[in-house]
């Protein structure tokens, strides 16, 4: 129990470091020639990283047999939502100058904004239903089904990133391949037989 609490504390503190560094860089005026763009890009990247980490937990747990990883999954997901909210805020602030009415037409006109908005909107029900109370209320099966939306959100996020990158697509494609691997793993886990005759553990077995 104390180990889990310590692990959660380590994740919590580490997850806040990028934000602290961003604020420090902005305060020291060391965020490059365009600090607003720097803030948007940093928060966008952190959202994608935390979203990918959240999706990676179950496969990592199965492959390496570290069951306690699941204890930090909710926190990672909530950090993805937290950085996503900051990212959206930077867009509404710096890109739209708080002209909320202009967001609708922008979503329609710029496909990468539509993809980003899709990724973010899909994270909202996941964040709302992340509490133990909501898991109980929905029932484990329904909750798990709803939370598969995280894959759709992550795919939309990678598409968003891939669309906005003008020339060097290596990084968005790397995220895309990682996500594809994690998704393929989950599908194998879903359809692989529950028992392997020769070995005791089946890393593809469902929870």
# residues near ligand HEM by CB under 6 A: 24
Interface residue with ligand HEM among 59, 72, 74, 120 (CB under 6 A) is 120
Give me the 176-205 binding string for ligand HEM, x by CB under 6 A, dash otherwise.
Answer: ------------------------------
Shortest reach from residue 147's CB to ligand HEM, in Å: 15
Closer residue to ligand HEM (CB): 59 or 84: 84
Closer residue to ligand HEM (CB): 50 or 204: 50
Options 24-32, 58-66, 110-118, 188-196: segment touching ligand HEM (CB under 6 A): 110-118
Contact call for residue 52 and ligand HEM (CB under 6 A): no
**Ramachandran sector of residue 29 (left: φ over 0; alpha: ψ -120 to 50; beta: rest):** left
Interface residue with ligand HEM among 35, 37, 60, 163 (CB under 6 A) is 37
Helix/strand/coil for 133: helix
98-135 per-residue burial string, b: 16 or more CB within 10 A, e: under 16 = eeeeebeeeeeeeeebbbbbbbbebbeebbebbeeeeb
* CA 44/CA 66 separation, integer angstroms: 29
Which residue bears the tokens 């998704």? 183
Four-point Cα dihedral 37, 42, 47, 49, nearest 10: 140
Q: How far is CA 100 from the centre of its chain?
A: 25
Shortest reach from residue 187's CB to ligand HEM, in Å: 22
**Contact call for residues 162 and 119 (beta carbons, < 8 A):** no
Interface residue with ligand HEM among 62, 73, 87, 147 (CB under 6 A) is 87
Question: With DSSP H G I counted as helix, E B as strand and the rest as coil, what are the percentages for the chain, rounded to 5?
Answer: 80, 0, 20
* CA 38/CA 18 separation, integer angstroms: 12
Interface residue with ligand HEM among 15, 31, 40, 58 (CB under 6 A) is 40
Shortest reach from residue 108's CB to ligand HEM, in Å: 12
Interface residue with ligand HEM among 15, 39, 53, 119 (CB under 6 A) is 119
Options 85-93, 130-138, 141-149, 181-189: segment touching ligand HEM (CB under 6 A): 85-93
């Amino acid at each position: 129990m104390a180990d889990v609490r310590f692990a959660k504390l380590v994740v919590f503190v580490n997850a806040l470091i990028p934000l602290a560094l961003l604020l420090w860089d902005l305060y020291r005026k060391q965020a490059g020639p365009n600090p607003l763009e720097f803030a948007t890009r940093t928060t966008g990247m952190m959202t994608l990283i935390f979203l990918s980490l959240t999706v990676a937990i179950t496969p990592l747990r199965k492959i390496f047999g570290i069951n306690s990883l699941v204890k930090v999954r909710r926190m990672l997901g909530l950090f993805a939502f937290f950085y996503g909210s900051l990212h959206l805020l930077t867009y509404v602030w710096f890109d739209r100058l708080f002209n909320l009415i202009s967001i609708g037409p922008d979503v329609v006109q710029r496909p990468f904004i539509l993809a980003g908005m899709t990724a973010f909107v899909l994270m909202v029900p996941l964040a709302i239903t992340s509490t133990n109370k909501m898991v109980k209320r929905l029932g484990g099966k329904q909750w798990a089904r709803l939370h598969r939306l995280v894959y759709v959100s992550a795919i939309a996020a990678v598409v968003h990133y891939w669309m906005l990158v003008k020339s060097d697509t290596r990084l968005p494609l790397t995220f895309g391949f990682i996500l594809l691997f994690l998704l393929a793993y989950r599908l194998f886990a879903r359809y692989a037989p529950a028992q392997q005759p020769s070995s005791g553990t089946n890393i593809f077995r469902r929870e």
